């Protein structure tokens, strides 16, 4: 194990290599921050994930790349999306993991309850995009204010919410604005039904309450500041994604590279986990707790968890009375009826075909440029 002084120096070096500025015992973002610079800040964390991907993923890249289309083989008129739920230990799971390594920010594995989907093109038999849903965090000020949640109502009703931790399209479909299509599909009947099937009648671990399987809302955050994909995204005349505010810029992605393992080893040897409900098991809660304890033990400010990259938060109501239901003032949920086919029909005429006609960049994409390893 490295000494405290050595670890402190390694942390500072890692942050500076990523592009952060350390000044007056604070970490600061580089000046004139734009989307390109935000990508650069995440570059080391993404590369660490790629370098540490499992052997099986690397070994099967030649199989997985066959699901990535060449632009020249795509006929936009023939695209037909379908939703495939990902099963553990399957080829679908490997494809999900492989595609997520290409995201512009590191993709988490999700927390607690989890649903993952491939959005496939049934006609061309290629991957369009990914949807990953996990448990939402308990405290998210902008979301809670939008819902108008009191503490007790949130404690009772947060189980009717999921968070999309990954949501987007892969090339060449991304050139055809299929990021909007994947975003629309997260609000579909099929996603709600998959949630109902998996979690209906299941009891929560801590409170042992049985879930009735209803899903009232999904939240998500933009990857790089404001999102051109989610903003003003409509189905017919109804806004699908509601802008509710921005995150405060706290997290641990800037410690999620080669330095994290040394942080974990140090904390495991020198710190005690925060007390929590025994039903959650032993050990530390999550990466943020581990990094926070490390910073404190080294005499560094816990404010170093504030990387400063604010992401826009969106609420995706799945019913006409989502807020009233989540507030507890109404018990019947009036869910929107919007199937994948219906959503795609609208997307096809509104965005897909006009884009394919005026922008031919999708034709230039080749799967070879998507390869991660030799």
Q: Note the Cα 331 to chain centre separation in Å.
A: 29
pTM: 0.86
Question: Is 22's pLDDT higher than 80?
Answer: yes
Q: At what angle do helices 35-51 and 4-18 cross, to 10 degrees?
A: 130
DSSP letter assigned to residue 164: E
41 pLDDT tier (thresholds 50, 70, 90): low
Express each pLDDT in 132-152 by its tens digit.
999 999 989 999 999 999 999
pLDDT in tens, 27-36: 887 777 666 7
10-14 own/partner pairs: CB under 8 Å, 24+ apart: 10/259, 10/262, 11/255, 11/259, 11/263, 11/298, 11/300, 14/44, 14/254, 14/255, 14/257, 14/258, 14/259
Per-residue model confidence (pLDDT) at position 95: 97
Sequence spans of domains, the chain: 1-32+250-307, 56-249+313-367
One CATH from 1.20.120, 3.30.56, 3.40.630, 3.40.1350 for 56-249+313-367: 3.40.630
Contacts of 47 (CB under 8 A, 6+ apart): 257
Identify which of 347, 313, 359 has the alpha carbon closest to the alpha carbon of residue 139.
Answer: 313
* Contact call for residues 236 and 342 (beta carbons, < 8 A): no
pLDDT of the residue at 359: 97
Could you give the CA distance from residue 85 to residue 29 in angstroms, rounded to a whole number?
38
> In this predicted model, what pLDDT tens digit does every residue of 318-362 receive, in sequence order?
999 999 999 999 999 999 999 999 999 999 999 999 999 999 999
Among the ranges 167-181, 212-226, 290-304, which has the highest mean pLDDT value?
167-181
Least confident window among 142-146, 233-237, 273-277:
273-277
């Amino acid at each position: 194990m490295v000494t405290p002084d050595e670890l402190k120096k390694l942390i500072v070096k890692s942050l500076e290599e990523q592009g952060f500025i350390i000044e007056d015992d604070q970490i600061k973002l580089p000046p004139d921050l734009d989307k390109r610079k935000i990508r650069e800040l995440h570059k080391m964390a993404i590369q660490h994930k790629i370098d540490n991907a499992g052997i099986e993923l690397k070994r099967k890249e030649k199989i997985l790349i066959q699901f990535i289309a060449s632009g020249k083989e795509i006929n936009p008129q023939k695209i037909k999306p379908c939703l495939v739920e990902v099963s553990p230990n399957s080829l679908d799971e490997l494809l999900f993991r492989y595609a997520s390594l290409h995201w512009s920010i590191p993709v988490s594995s999700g927390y607690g309850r989890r649903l993952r989907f491939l959005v496939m093109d049934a006609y061309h038999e290629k991957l369009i995009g990914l949807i990953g849903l996990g448990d939402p965090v308990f405290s998210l000020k902008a979301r809670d204010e939008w819902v108008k949640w009191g503490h007790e109502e949130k404690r009772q009703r947060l189980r009717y919410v999921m968070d999309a931790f990954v949501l987007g399209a892969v090339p060449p479909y991304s050139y055809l604005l299929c990021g909007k299509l994947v975003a629309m599909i997260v609000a579909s009947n099929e996603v709600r039904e998959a949630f109902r099937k998996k979690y209906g009648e299941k009891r929560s671990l801590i409170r042992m309450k049985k879930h009735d399987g209803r899903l009232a809302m999904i939240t998500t955050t933009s990857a790089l500041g404001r999102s051109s994909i989610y903003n003003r995204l409509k189905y017919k005349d109804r806004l699908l994604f509601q802008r509710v505010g921005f995150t405060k810029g706290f997290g641990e992605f800037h410690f999620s590279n080669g330095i994290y393992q040394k942080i974990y080893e140090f904390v495991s040897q020198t710190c005690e986990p925060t007390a929590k409900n025994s039903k959650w098991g032993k050990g530390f809660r999550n990466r943020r707790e581990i990094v926070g304890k490390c910073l404190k033990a080294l005499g560094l400010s816990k404010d170093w968890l504030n990387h400063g990259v604010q992401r826009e938060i969106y609420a995706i109501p799945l019913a006409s009375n989502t807020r009233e239901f989540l507030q507890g003032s109404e018990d019947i949920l009036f869910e929107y009826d919007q199937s994948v086919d219906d959503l795609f029909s609208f997307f096809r005429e509104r965005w897909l075909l006009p884009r394919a006609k005026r922008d031919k960049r999708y034709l230039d994409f080749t799967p070879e440029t998507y390869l991660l390893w030799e």
